[in-house]
Structure 1
Amino acid sequence: MTRPAPDLSFERAAQARGATCIAGVDEVGRGPLCGPVTAAAVILDPGHIPAGIGDSKALSAAKRERLFADLMQTAQVSVAHASVAEIDSLNILHASHLAMERAIAGLALRPDFVLVDGNRLPGNLPCAAEAVVKGDAKSLSIAAASIIAKVVRDRIMVDLAQQHPGYGWERNAGYPTKDHLAALLNLGVTPHHRRSFKPVHNILYQAPLVSD
């Protein structure tokens, strides 16, 4: 059974309540053991919305790249990050919200309403907002933000993989796959690993790590 594609229902509902400039916001990178968490904020041009926008996780890499290029040409886009140090200091939820706040603040146009993927809103937003559970599968603005954030973060992880070969980051984007966990045991912890995450913490403190 095919899932319904994201549409503009949430955006239109916000417009009906008086909003005129609506941004979708999503983040990528909560689950990986390393690298930043990356957020994007996107304000779509209603007259130039690229065809095929959907949840970034459900799209092929080639389609994400094409949509990324199209969105960068047609939409207002801002990307921001929270660092590994901030993730370890704040925890991943608060670091994700910080990245979202930074992405919204970086938009050239100031939105008067924000649609945020998830069930909790960041605490420091400049306007009214709505949290949308599984928003990247429901709202075109959030889905567009998910594509931008994933492409940017994946590119970061490919670059980091060249600096630290052997962990497979160009393939796993830092997620705890078998090859990544095995590399942690064999090669050790890099400066890009999140020390507050259990598999990394366990290695640093010599607790046993199960890689299967």
Structure 2
Amino acid sequence: MNTSTSADQGFLRAGVDEAGRGPLAGPVVVAAVILDPARPIAGLDDSKKLSEKRREALYPQIAERALAHCVVIVEAQEIDRLNILQATMVGMRRAVAGLAPAAHEALVDGNRLPRELPCPGRAIVGGDALEPAISAASILAKVTRDRLMVALDAVHPGYGFAVHKGYPTPAHLAALQRLGPCTQHRRSFAPVRQLLDQGALF
């Protein structure tokens, strides 16, 4: 882990990351976090490397100790309208813009920067394992999205959202074939679009 702080001498750096670009259903969730160097959080890492239990334990620590954090939900309908890349970029802009106090710089996980960020930005490949603020953002985004998918499982039973979180697992694809798409499915994603093109149930 990089030991650089997210704020030194009043310069505020926000980490930015997303969860849910690959699923066939549900939103993409983006988080931005400015950590407080005076209140360090042990164990921050790429959310994918952490157990669900560990992510859930870190979530309230991040929310309580961060100088600022903002979580943005971009729904499936907006993903279909914009495409998943642009929807993610829009979510990142909104998350950074929602920080109070505002960030002086945004560190974005990946190799692309959103246009029109409200502050200068840097894209960092693998940043969720290198920069603590991006790690924190990845945890907030992942936990928020997983909780949303569990809630959506109760609203749209039969698809298994609580288990696979909308990712294209064999069980999800089988349920999609059996039940057809629900309102949470991303129509622009190939497996869903192919079913719609075939006129299956919709």
Same fold (TM over 0.5): yes
Question: Which one of 55, 61, 75 corresponds to residue 64 of structure 1?
Answer: 55
RMSD of aligned residue pairs (Cα, Å): 1.7
Identity of aligned residues (%): 52
The amino acid across from 1:84 in the alignment is A
Question: Which one of 21, 25, 31 corresponds to residue 12 of structure 2?
Answer: 21
Question: Which consecutive residues of structure 2, in runs of 5 or more, have no partner in the other structure?
Answer: none
Runs of 4+ in 1 over 3 A off after TM superposition: 8-12
Question: Which one of 193, 196, 202 corresponds to residue 204 of structure 1?
Answer: 196
SS at match of 1:42: strand
Question: Which consecutive residues of structure 1, in runs of 5 or more, have no partner in the other structure?
Answer: 1-5
Equivalent residue for 1:87?
79
Check if 1:38 corresponds to 2:33.
Answer: no
Shift of 1:11: 4.9
Deviations 1:20-55 (A, max 9, x none): 011000011100001111000000010112111100
Question: What CA distance in whole angstroms lies between the structure 1 residues aligned with 2:100 and 2:6?
Answer: 19
Matches within 5 A, 1:90-129: 90-129=82-121
TM-score, with normalisation over the residues of structure 1?
0.90
Equivalent residue for 1:3?
none
Give yes or no for contact 1:11–1:22 (8 Å, CA) kept in 2.
yes
Question: What CA distance in whole angstroms lies between the structure 1 residues aligned with 2:39 and 2:192?
Answer: 44
Number of residue equivalences:
199
Question: What CA distance in whole angstroms lies between the structure 2 residues aligned with 1:117 and 1:144?
Answer: 11
The amino acid across from 1:104 in the alignment is V
Give yes or no for contact 1:136–1:142 (8 Å, CA) kept in 2.
yes
Deviations 1:139-186 (A, max 9, x none): 100000000000001111000001111111111110000110000000
Equivalent residue for 1:183?
175
Shift of 1:8: 3.4
Question: What CA distance in whole angstroms lies between the structure 2 residues aligned with 1:101 and 1:171?
Answer: 30
Question: What CA distance in whole angstroms lies between the structure 1 residues aligned with 2:197 and 2:187?
Answer: 10
Give yes or no for contact 1:19–1:113 (8 Å, CA) kept in 2.
no
